[in-house]
Amino acid sequence: MLSSCISLTYRCLIVILFVLLGFIKTSANINKVITVDKVETQFLKDTTRCEPTIQQNKNFKIRSSFIFVDNPARLFTMRQFSQNYLGTYLLVANSAYETFKFLPATYFVLGVSTILGMPLTHEEGHRSILTYKNIGSISRPYFNSKGAAYVQGVTDNSLIELRDNDLPNYIRLHTAGLESDYMLAHKIESYMVFSPHNQKLLYIEYLMRKLSLLQYYLTGLFKYDFDLVEETDELKRDIVGHDVYGAVKHIHRPNEEFIRYNQYVDLTKEEKSMIKRIGWRSLFNLASPFLFFKNGFSISQNVKYNLSLGYTMSPFGDFIDQYIWLSIKEQNFMLYFRQHQNKENWFPAAGVGIYDLPLGKRFRTDANIHVWNQPKGLSFTETIGFWGGAFDVSLRYLITPNFGERLKRISFDIGILGKTKGFMPEEMEMDKSIGGRFGMSLYY
């Protein structure tokens, strides 16, 4: 649930947006040249002159990707909904920029789009867990009279059964909205790396995603209690109440009397200690050059890089990420290191990927390998870990349509992901699985 405190946060975000618009307007009027470690990029009104340095094909600047079928084939998986939202956002962003030819007006449109889109994707993150577990629900992503966004339509007995039989997925039900926000911010980072055009279009969305994560995680440091009372009709209640308080309470006391709307004052001393841990660690999300308009650094003419830190919760605790993006002669790589923690123990993970690798004239591929150590049973208290991993490969077949100058290419995309037991952000299956996906990308 997005609690009533978000209404106040959104007002703050709108103020920030208008401050940014004033800054951007001033910058645009003087055609300020931004220098990124000796790589100069001018913020031009004519986007056709804005060439991204990381793309393999110079005939297009942006790729909007959409997933039609994902694994499992139910509408919608978290990855599917988030990717489709981001693909649509990029279409709207580029159309607005091409139409207005004026950055402040474009950013205003994108700010409104983001404010409407954030509760939608957040609540769909929650609902994706219920869909995966064959539990029907209703998403009401826009604020009601209490200033809250809900996923509702689920009985107490259904939630109790999920908690008692599958605690990791029940905890993930609480944290999935934040997981969706976190992974969307990470996707945006990958889009923005070394690409000034994408940076302009995505900055407002990225900034607000980061602030949304912080406003939720930091409530524990301020000992904030929302003023919602459980509705008499259980089908009208939000499924989890406050995401963080509920997750922390149930992960510590899974056999306690069932309550949806957990308050800070109801938490034990040990649980409040974890709430503080979560709050302070969430500040890692600010350690990002992207927030400060640094979308790339240069080692040499042919070698560029960027990096950032990230933090969010998991079904058995939380984790900290370190991301490194690398472009060598315009070939793209990403490396990450991850540190999971449950109650007291740390479990390492890492991954590496190559992106936009050309296979002839019409094929592009992405390939990722992940390795992790996680607690047995995905348990909050387990001290012994197990090793696992995953591979994720996608292939795009590009065609050149005759749709005018704006749409440059279309690709048909297929992907396959195989994994052992373990938690992967945005992947629905936490058991051993292998599955495919199919979609399409638009290049313009």
CB crowding 25-38: b at 16 or more within 10 Å, else e: eeeeeeeeeeebee
Least confident range of 80-89, 101-110, 183-192, 408-417: 101-110
Q: Please name which of 28, 183, 14 lies closest in space to residue 114, comparing C-alpha atoms.
A: 14
Whole-number Å distance between alpha carbons of 252 and 24: 47
Rounded mean pLDDT, 203-226:
92
Q: Over the stretch 409-440, which tens digit does the pLDDT of each residue have?
A: 999 999 999 999 999 999 999 999 999 999 99
Q: How many angstroms separate the first and last alpha carbons of the chain?
A: 36
**Length of the chain as a residue count:** 444
Neighbours of 164 (CB within 10 A): 12
Query: Where are the domains positioned within the chain?
Result: 5-443
pLDDT at position 62 is 85
pLDDT at position 11 is 44
Of the ranges 28-32, 187-191, 229-233, 276-280, which is most confident? 276-280
Q: Over the stretch 275-299, which tens digit does the pLDDT of each residue have?
A: 999 999 999 999 999 999 888 899 9
In this prediction the pTM is 0.88
Neighbours of 385 (CB within 10 A): 17
Whole-number Å distance between alpha carbons of 77 and 68: 11
Rounded mean pLDDT, 387-399:
97
Q: Please name which of 87, 107, 111, 86 lies closest in space to residue 97, comparing C-alpha atoms.
A: 107
Q: Which two tokens stand for residue 143?
A: 């604020």
- Could you tell me how many helices (H) and strands (E) the chain has, helices first? 8, 14
Whole-number Å distance between alpha carbons of 93 and 299: 31
Q: Where are the beta strands (DSSP E) in 315-400?
A: 317-328, 331-341, 346-358, 363-375, 385-399
Whole-number Å distance between alpha carbons of 418 and 429: 10
DSSP class of residue 257 equals P
pLDDT at position 441 is 96
- Find where tokens 């990403």 sit: 334
Q: Which two tokens stand for residue 345?
A: 């123990």
Q: Which two tokens stand for residue 341?
A: 């923690």
What are residue 414's DSSP bridge partners? 395, 438
pLDDT at position 147 is 75
Give me the half-sphere count of Cα atoms (radius 13 Å) on the Cβ side of residue 193: 26
Helices marked H in 133-195:
156-165, 167-192
Give φ, ψ of 51 to 5 degrees.
-100, 115
Q: How far is CA 373 from the centre of its chain?
A: 22
Q: Over the stretch 242-263, which tens digit does the pLDDT of each residue have?
A: 999 999 999 999 999 999 999 9
Rounded mean pLDDT, 214-237:
90
Task: Name residue 158's amino acid.
Answer: S
Q: Which two tokens stand for residue 429?
A: 């299956």
Helix (H) or strand (E) holding 196: helix 196-217
